[in-house]
Chain A
Amino acid sequence: MTITERTPNSFRNQPDERGHFGQFGGRYVAETLMPLVLDLEREYRAAQQDPSFAAQFDDLLEHYVGRPSPLYYAERLTEEVRKDAPAGKGAQIWFKRDELNHTGAHKINNCVGQILLAIRMGKTRIIAETGAGQHGVATATVCARFGLPCFIYMGAKDIERQQPNVFRMRLLGAEIIPVTSGAGTLKDAMNEGLRDWVANVHDTFYIIGTAAGPHPYPELVRDFQSVIGKEARAQMLSRINRLPDLLVACIGGGSNALGLFHPFLDDKDVAMLGVEAAGHGLDAEHAASLAGGRPGILHGNKTYLLQDADGQIAEAHSISAGLDYPGIGPEHSWLKEIGRVRYDSVTDTDALAAFQLLCRTEGIIPALEPAHAIAAVEREAKKMDRDQIILANLCGRGDKDIFTVAEALGTKI
């Protein structure tokens, strides 16, 4: 972990001192939470200046999480994609293997950082929201590791469709609190997490799972996740002595994408593509906030949201519970508006096909979230020359998704 550099004309010196990324971000919270959010910012600034904090974070990432994660050239996938590509086309496809982390996804990077902050602040109770359960599992994991009580808010509907993760969290000692308000999914779990926090400000730390929420969460989650891009950049240079031409990552809230992108933002020749979940299609139910939403205010920040003309928030849909959220981290909204990152979307159907393709060609079962990125990688690779390089973040493994995939493929297991 390092301090964000404050250099002029850089894409990497956001947010401003008020927590704004251009017009996005900010601290739109109830007054009860405001002093706490300011405290958290002070404590995070102090931690950034404290070498022992960085040392502890780095040590846990290495010996507990298993970092650095490998950088892998997906040779067979590259060959497979070239079969359908025009002559001379078909870029090399590389993966940052964050699915090999302890707990099976990038989520743990952030949880390690936040629990160290919680301990620093003297908080004795941890809460979190979860959709698919990956962030819940990662939070329950670090709580077990540090012996702190853990309460996970999870939509009742998500509890039903993510039983294995619910059991994992319980094994790890977490208490799962079912949320029945609203549609009973991630957005409602986040509302309930905020309600808990506001009632327990004196002892509770809220570990937010993505680069969203009130400042400083989007910044600190990004910083903790930036280990992905820092490693990848160094690994690329040491393996092939050049940077990739294109970075690709899937986006729900967008923490794995920011983690990969942020360290490359000032590398002018590196293009970036964020992939939202198009669900049943952009003209039907989906979760693509940038493609189908407008700027608005929810859950502590201003960002692109799926909403109606009156600002009522819409329900999102994606086959991937981890992308099933009607908002997106505010830094992505900013990166879209300034044009530094391009954003596209992939449907449930295309993500499922990419999921199977990676299983067959590389012997890697990806999570449904990065399966969206892989589908976009296929599309992009066919447009690029053979000597060009795409680096995609394989941010989670698919063990958790085998039931969902089986059902979608009409198979009983």
Chain B
Amino acid sequence: MTRLSIAFAKPHPALVAFITAGDGDTAANLDALVAGGADVIELGMPFTDPMADGPVIQEANIRSLNAGTTTADIFALASAFRTRHPDTPLVLMGYANPMTIRGGDWFASECNKAGVDGVICVDIPPEEDPELGPALRSAGIDLIRLATPTTDAARLPTVLNGASGFLYYVSVAGITGLQVAAQTSIDEAVARLKAHTDLPIAVGFGVRTPEQAANIARVADGVVVGSAIVELVAQHGANAAVPVRDYVASLKQSIVAARKV
């Protein structure tokens, strides 16, 4: 069992929490995510051109890069996290260029050394899998693919081919942090995805309240929350750990309760 599969085998749906690496006190914020009860951590790799992100995460990327964050810094954060938290799965999320600039093999090997469990790359679709997929698979790192409202049944097998860890369902056609999908459309999409795969389905984009998280938790295997946490980091700067922990705890409580109903 991998750390990711253990996280998704718990009796409650997984809370997947995102922050941007190098934005604020990242080590303290990562600890706060774990303390608040996050089951899976997504650590965003900042990029100058985050095409799929809304204003909140765009600004986090800019803050991080302006603070001088490098790829080496991100792997150092990941390594240190792994030492402090041997069991919490850590997934790197970001864009193709920083991940592939030194070659897919280099990136996969660094992930492996740092104890990273999975990678989500926004702009490498299955059609360009050779760029990163084979390297990750041979290093034992899960390649987490995205499915969206535009991914129809005919295309889904292409997306699932080579995917592992979990499937990230992007619930709205749009960018991060702005819109919220109608719950009925999420219910339908998760049912449709589950008919095609045994991978756990985590649902994200626009999730910010404990109520939304609970609604998703009733149907999905995981709930992804990103922009709402990044907003707390923006608001509290270097002192974001406590508000982040409390907010994550409120989401977690609501997710755990949702399945008991």
Contact = CB atoms under 8 A, between A and B. Distances in A.
B97 A18 contact: no
B123 A312 contact: no
A307 B70 CA distance: 13
Q: In this complex, which of B48, B58, B95, B146 has the most chain A Cβ atoms within 10 angstroms of its Cβ?
A: B48
Interface string A298-337: 1110000101011111000000000000000000000000
Given A30-B122, A198-B175, A297 B97 contact: yes
B49 interface: yes
Contacts of B175: 195, 198-199
Interface stretch (B124-132, B223-231, B250-258): B124-132
Interface stretch (B36-44, B151-159, B212-220, B239-247): B151-159
Contact of B150 (A201, A298, A299): A201
Interface in B124-169: 124-125, 127-128, 131, 145-152, 155, 159
Contacts of B62: 182
Given A195-B52, A297-B123, A311 B97 contact: yes
Nearest to A312: B48
B210 interface: no
A305 B151 CA distance: 30
Interface stretch (A31-39, A109-117, A119-127, A228-236): A31-39
B49 A35 contact: no
Contacts of A48: none
A67 B195 CA distance: 55
Contacts of A313: 48-49, 97
A194 B101 CA distance: 22
Contacts of B49: 182, 187-188, 191, 298-299, 313
A27 interface: yes
B189 interface: no
A11 interface: no
A263 interface: no
A312 B173 contact: no
Given A27-B125, A313-B48, A35 B150 contact: yes
B114 to A, nearest CB: 15
A313 B49 CA distance: 7
A191 B127 CA distance: 21
The bracket for how many chain B residues form the interface is: 35 or more
Contact of A194 (B51, B124, B125): B51
Contacts of A312: 47-48, 65, 98
A163 interface: no
A198 B174 contact: yes
Nearest to B95: A297
Interface in B73-110: 95-101
B185 interface: no
The prevalent SS among residues of A at the interface is mixed
B71 interface: yes
B170 interface: yes
Given A198-B173, A310-B98, A31 B147 contact: yes
Contacts of B149: 32
A104 interface: no
Contacts of B131: 28, 297
Contact of A191 (B51, B96, B98, B150): B51
Nearest to B73: A310
Contacts of B178: 199
Interface in A185-199: 187-188, 191, 194-195, 198-199
Contact of A299 (B51, B52, B151, B159): B51
A36 B49 CA distance: 21
Contacts of B70: 310
A29 B97 contact: no
A191 B57 CA distance: 14
A303 to B, nearest CB: 11
B97 A32 contact: no
Q: Report which residue of A18, A305, A309, A311 has the largest number of chain B beta carbons within 10 angstroms of its beta carbon.
A: A311
Contact of B58 (A181, A187, A194, A310): A181
A237 B82 CA distance: 69
B116 to A, nearest CB: 17
29 contacts: A18-B127, A27-B127, A28-B124, A28-B125, A30-B52, A30-B123, A30-B146, A31-B148, A31-B150, A31-B151, A31-B159, A31-B170, A32-B174, A34-B150, A181-B55, A181-B58, A188-B49, A198-B174, A199-B174, A200-B173, A201-B173, A297-B100, A297-B123, A298-B97, A310-B70, A311-B97, A311-B100, A312-B98, A313-B49
> Across chains A and B, which 3 residue pairs bring their CB atoms closest together, nearest first?
A311-B101, A199-B174, A311-B97
Interface of B: 47-52, 54-55, 58, 62, 65, 70-71, 95-101, 122-125, 127-128, 131, 145-152, 155, 159, 170, 172-175, 178-179
Given A34-B155, A195-B51, 8 more contacts: A30-B122, A30-B148, A31-B150, A195-B54, A198-B173, A202-B173, A294-B101, A312-B65
